[in-house]
Chain A
Amino acid sequence: MSEIIQDRKVFSLYQVTRSIQKTLNKRYSSAFWVKAELNKLNYYQHSGHCYPELVEKKKGKIITQIRSVLWKRDFIRINEAFKKTVHEPLKDGIKILFLAKINFHPQYGLSLHILNIDPGFTLGDLEKEKQETLKKLRKEGVFDNNKKLQLPLLPQRIAVISVQTSKGYADYLNVFEEAENKWGYKFFNMLFPSLLQGDNAVNSLIKQLNRIKKVSRHFDVVVIVRGGGGDIGLSCYNNYLLAKEIALFPIPVITGIGHATNETAAEMIAHKNAITPTKLAEIIIQKFHNFALPVEEGRKIIVEKAQSLLSEQKINLQTEVRHFKSGTKYLLSKNRNILREISNTMSWNFQATFKQERERLETYQIKIGAETKYLLRDNSEELNRIGYQLKRDMQQQLNKHHLSLDYQLRNLRLGTGRFTKTSEKELSNLEKNIALIHPENVLKRGYSITLYEGKSVTDIEAIDEGEELKTLLYKGEVISVVKSKSKSNEREN
């Protein structure tokens, strides 16, 4: 109760705060849902309680602010639900939808007593940030800038954004070490240490990206490696500034931040999202395999093909030589046979011709021999005959003359007396002539006289065909009929 001091009704402070407490409790008896931004969580590790600072902003300015209380038991429960659903713990800067009662404590004053927080609301809000980031980058036309960059055939020089103590980084390096030992590949991993989760990660990551950018000519690729930290605290990768930094980065950025939830904006913007650090290392090593294998295969193929080409050529050459040999052999023997045949034919022909000619010659020889003999015989017979005839004729003539001489001598001796010397001589001549021209004597020599109608024929004109002629021979006469007649030219005149 109040007391009266100097006519004034005076309350003690406690009476006032108790009254406020009573009034508020009466007015706000039940809990209600409030949406606000969790400006600061104010978690006290010692007690395990939180005293979140809740604000509402308008155009970036705080228009209202109130303290709140989140008791240890509620905090643990809600925080677990958040990690599960939002993949973020309760943290500064998130928007929350919470169930609260107005609490007024005389000692601690006014606060909201948070009974529960809906993780779905926060998730939606974070998702909204991601979507907004992506939307902005698309609008700026840089969404797939980093994706368009060509990763070198051998991404050998790697700028690693990670933490020295990160398990993911250790896994990542192990894969490379193994590959170096196993395949002899050489990698250059240079660490650029950065926070990898939570709200401060954004600035830290951007800072390291900027450092790498300055020496980017030394690197083929940037990797962001995180692992072993669970899925919590990755909403920083939805940050617009970070995502834009990655989008515009001059060399490819590959992420391996190891979580099982939806891809963050940064991962979507990156050249490639390998998901885990191990996978990321394997992707890079695979690039080496993709390079080394064709080189080695190519080497084998070239050696193999070159050898087979050479041996093929050798075989071809040998075959060629063999063909040439057998070809020439065949040609030679063919030509030899032809020659032999020709020579045979020729020789046969020659022989035949020779034989034929010889035979002909022989025939000629024989014929000539026979002919000559015959001619000789013929001629000698003729000669003999002529000789004989001549002899006989001579004999006859001689005989005749002898007889005639004898006769004349006898006549001369007988007529000497009766004839004068002259007349005796004339007479003798006359007789001699008569004897000579006496047809009998002429006929005796083989001549004949042709008579037509009892007159001797001397001119062909005197007779005609069909007329009967009489021919007087030495001994006898022939009657003949003129079949045909012809003039003898020599005797024309």
Chain B
Amino acid sequence: MKEKINYTEAFEELQNIVSEIEQGEISVDELSEKVKRAAQLIKICKTKLSTTEENVAEILKELENTEDTDNEPNFEY
């Protein structure tokens, strides 16, 4: 269960587990697995809410690189 899933998939899977457990579709036998999985998914979701990996400097650098080749006149602000 260590496959890389994005937060949208994690969110959807979590919703599924919640509705399953709400509707009593989870047996005691599965419970442990499902709860463990749900904990992983919740962690993915909460991490996404509270962190971002984007970096202004890196994006600007990327822009500069493309703009150099574009030969466009620089815009003055």
Contact = CB atoms under 8 A, between A and B. Distances in A.
Contacts of A294: 11, 14-15, 18
A309 B52 CA distance: 37
B37 to A, nearest CB: 10
Contact of A184 (B7, B42, B50): B50
B71 interface: no
A157 B58 CA distance: 14
B21 A214 contact: no
Contacts of A198: none
Nearest to A156: B52
Nearest to A154: B48
Nearest to B73: A207
Contacts of B54: 157, 188, 190, 218
Main SS class of interface, A = helix
Interface string B1-38: 00000011001001101100110001010010011001
Contact of A185 (B45, B50, B62): B50
Contacts of B35: 302, 306
A204 interface: yes
Nearest to B18: A298
Which range contains the number of A residues in contact with the other chain?
Answer: 35 or more
Given A186-B49, A186-B50, A215-B63, A301 B21 contact: yes
Contact of A190 (B8, B18, B56): B56
Which of A193, A204, A215 has the most C-beta atoms of chain B within 10 angstroms of its own C-beta?
A: A215
Interface residues of B, number: 32
Contacts of B28: 309-310, 313
Given A184-B49, A291-B49, A302-B18, A190 B42 contact: no
A34 interface: no
A302 B38 contact: yes
B4 to A, nearest CB: 17
A324 to B, nearest CB: 19
Contacts of A313: 28
B15 to A, nearest CB: 6
A299 interface: yes
Interface of B: 7-8, 11, 14-15, 17-18, 21-22, 26, 28, 31, 34-35, 38, 42, 45-46, 48-52, 54, 56, 59, 62-63, 66-67, 75, 77
Interface of A: 152-154, 156-157, 183-188, 190, 193-195, 204, 207, 211, 214-215, 218, 288, 291-292, 294-295, 297-299, 301-302, 305-306, 309-310, 313
Given A188-B52, A295-B14, 18 more contacts: A156-B48, A185-B50, A186-B51, A187-B52, A188-B54, A190-B56, A214-B66, A215-B59, A292-B45, A295-B45, A295-B49, A298-B38, A298-B42, A301-B21, A305-B22, A309-B28, A309-B31, A313-B28
